[in-house]
Chain A
Amino acid sequence: MEIFLQQLVNGVVLGSIYALVALGYTLVYGIMGLINFAHGDVVMIGAMVTLTVARLLSNSGLPGPLIVLLGLLAAVPTCMATGYLIERIAYRPLRNAPRLAPLITAIGVSILLQNLAMMIWGREYLSFPQIIPSHAFSFFGASISTTQSIIVIGSGVMMVCLSFLVKKTKLGNAMRATSQNPEVATLMGVEVNTVISLTFILGSALAAIAGMMVSAYYGIAHYDMGFMLGLKAFTAAVLGGIGNIEGAVLGGLLLGIIESMGAGYLGTLTGGVMGSNYQDVFAFFVLILVLVLRPSGLLGERVGERP
């Protein structure tokens, strides 16, 4: 039972991170119908920038949480700029092109970002300095660290803010209008180009925060860490219903829990044939299952054939 609770806690923490990244996919997909393959790599850039700042300041005597906050202050604008540039250079010129074209540039951007990061930060795994004091407190026998609780609470706050932004503000209104019909939205006075740029910037800011969380939580960062993370977050978005904000959160949490339960119990269930080294496989099978059984996801509307 204690193991179960512990895996549940780990799953929720992992799931909060997935949810935050999944929101980036869902926002862009909801508004443009495009899978932004480079989103995972924006998370990687966020992680790398935070980690670099943390390493530079680790001996400065500043308190740990402040250093991480400063890292975040550097990472968020960097990622926002990256997200803006990606949309401007690789996606905007292709809005009226055949569907295949933006998908190919998207994968091109992803490869480009990975290899730029490899040139800047090298191909080794970089470790995050031990600057955050860690207290673990016990919850019905499962231990929860401060970092873990900050991740869960932080992503919760982000999601509530985002939901408010999309549902209640003028920008949110414009975003929803653009996603329904960009041409009519233009006629109603919505600056479609600005709205799309802002959506990318918003998603990238969330990616930067997720990147900070991943690198601080696991203690490492690597130039191709964004690839698997992006794939899983996309799965989470599809599981919840792509284009749907609550869906992304639900999908992220579910996928996190499925993964950590799977990794924890797979060895026992299969009699040792398969172990936790198959953790990354779960997301993929979840994706296939969702696409076969309920392609619209748990909370999504029906996904049509190609428009």
Chain B
Amino acid sequence: MKPFMKTGLYALLLLTLPFFTDFAFGKTWVRILDFALLYVMLALGLNIVVGFAGLLDLGYVAFFAVGAYLYALLASPHFGLHLPFWLLLPMGAFAAGIFGMLLGAPTLRLRGDYLAIVTLGFGEIIRIFLNNLNAPYDITGGPQGIDLIDPVSLGQFSLNHSVYGYYFLFLFLALGTAFVSTRLQHSRIGRAWVAIREDEIAAEAMGINTRNVKLMAFAMGASFGGLSGGLFAGFEGFVSPESFSLTESIMILCMVVLGGMGHVRGVIFGSVLLSILPEALRYVGPAQQSVFGKIYVDPSSLRMLLFGLALILVMLLRPAGLWPSPERRRELAAQGETARHENTNVYDAARD
């Protein structure tokens, strides 16, 4: 098949997918598709930080929250402001990027572990602030969150919470982020990220300003999160601190790790897989009810349990993910060879 025909076929499939889904499974599943696309954007953002630059960010959802709350505050009756979305989305991305820089700056000089724990803390702290900034001045609406957020609209034309409208908007933006990600990966800075991930000291010796480049990765990833946050607020019409828990951060991390860290297609695959599969777990509850007459295992805790297990198993068995990039697969194969030949593993040597 000719390449342009292949592309055309994919395009046709993606454009008609929501209509088929609606026909076969109903509108709820179109909504799930919308969320899957939102997660694709989020996972691609986290992939820049974790996959390309090799920095573990465990509070990624905080940047998502920054974008979502910025949109919610400036386009809802909460403060009586109604700014247009094409202004708010870049603002959200920018604000999240600033937060990312502030957070990354103190830790990037140190070992990666510190960044992991600081981001983990930040993810929780931002939730404490969102929960408590409703007294004495009501800024974030506290635990109730902010309601009646304006839908995404351009002039007279409003998407008005239609699942189809958002599908096409998200599809367009997800493809855009995928394109940007791929271009970034093969750019000068993308190569610098990979160099740092593989060997920071060698990268520095090659003249890469490791601190700035890492900060760049962190800010870039955060701004993708901020952008998706704004879209989420417009799509849902409602934000509250509950949507931005650690669970979400872990889920996004899981998408990146499972799909294949640093491989754009793998990450897209991972995020679509993990946003659709858990929906199937919804049927676990009723199924138990009908078989055992009682719900033994709560489906939502089962979901998280499986995510935790997936993180461990993928790292142990397929460290490059379910769909690794071709280069990464070759590297791993080569590494396995040398290890077997030289028996470099000192701990194994000790046991023999």
Contacts and interface: CB of A to CB of B under 8 A. Distances in A.
B109 interface: yes
Interface stretch (B11-19, B31-39, B164-172, B312-320): B312-320
B319 A119 contact: no
Interface residues of B, number: 55
Interface string B114-133: 10111011101100110110
Chain A contact patch, size range? 35 or more
A303 B110 contact: yes
Contact of A111 (B112, B128, B304): B304
A101 B312 contact: no
A28 to B, nearest CB: 12
A262 interface: no
Nearest to A25: B117
B116 A35 contact: yes
A96 B345 contact: yes
Interface stretch (A69-77, A126-134, A185-193, A245-253): A185-193
Given A90-B312, A101-B319, A104-B311, A193 B121 contact: no
A104 B308 contact: no
A280 B128 contact: yes
Nearest to B256: A104
A227 B124 CA distance: 10
Contacts of B201: 305-306
Contacts, number: 158
Contact of B301 (A118, A274, A280): A118
A291 B107 contact: yes
Interface in A114-131: 114-116, 118-119, 123
Contacts of B129: 281
Contacts of A61: none
Contact of A105 (B312, B346, B350): B312
Nearest to B132: A277
A106 to B, nearest CB: 9
B239 interface: no
A108 B311 contact: yes
Contacts of A90: 312, 316
Contacts of A269: none
Given A115-B304, A119-B297, A107 B112 contact: no
A295 B105 CA distance: 13
B200, B261, B308 interface centre (most CB from chain A within 10 Å): B308
Contacts of B128: 277-278, 280-281
A116 B117 contact: no
B106 interface: yes
Given A112-B312, A115-B304, A119-B301, A291 B122 contact: no
Contacts of B118: 287-288, 291
B311 A105 contact: yes
A280 B116 contact: no
Interface stretch (B50-58, B72-80, B282-290): B50-58
Given A93-B316, A231-B121, A292-B106, A111 B311 contact: yes
Nearest to A118: B301
A284 B125 contact: yes
B6 interface: no
A62 interface: no
Given A35-B117, A99-B112, A303-B111, A182 B346 contact: yes
A231 B123 CA distance: 12
B347 A95 contact: yes
Interface in B275-316: 297-298, 301-302, 304-305, 307-312, 315-316
B109 A115 contact: no
Nearest to A97: B319
Contacts of B56: 100, 103-104
B350 A305 contact: no
B252 interface: no
Contacts of B344: 96
B46 to A, nearest CB: 12
Q: Which of B257, B312, B339 has the most CB of A within 10 A?
A: B312
A291 B102 CA distance: 13
A234 B114 CA distance: 10
Contact of B308 (A34, A103, A109): A109
A103 B112 contact: yes
A304 B344 CA distance: 25
Given A192-B347, A292-B106, A306-B200, A104 B253 contact: yes
Nearest to A289: B106
Contact of A186 (B124, B246, B349): B349
A187 B294 CA distance: 57
A183 interface: yes
B195 to A, nearest CB: 13
A248 to B, nearest CB: 15
A103 B309 contact: no
Contacts of A292: 106
Contact of A231 (B106, B120, B312): B120
Interface of A: 34-35, 37, 89-90, 92-105, 107-116, 118-119, 123, 182-183, 186, 191-193, 227-228, 231, 234-235, 238, 272-274, 277-278, 280-281, 283-284, 287-288, 291-292, 295, 303-306
Interface of B: 50, 54, 56, 58, 106-107, 109-114, 116-118, 120-122, 124-125, 128-129, 131-132, 136, 200-201, 246, 250, 253, 257, 261, 297-298, 301-302, 304-305, 307-312, 315-316, 319, 339, 344-347, 349-351
16 contacts: A100-B56, A100-B261, A107-B253, A108-B309, A111-B250, A114-B304, A115-B308, A183-B346, A186-B346, A186-B347, A193-B347, A274-B132, A278-B132, A284-B125, A291-B110, A295-B109
Given A105-B316, A291-B110, 9 more contacts: A111-B311, A186-B347, A231-B120, A277-B132, A291-B106, A295-B114, A303-B111, A305-B111, A306-B111
Top 6 nearest A-B pairs by Cβ distance? A108-B311, A111-B308, A112-B308, A115-B305, A108-B312, A292-B106
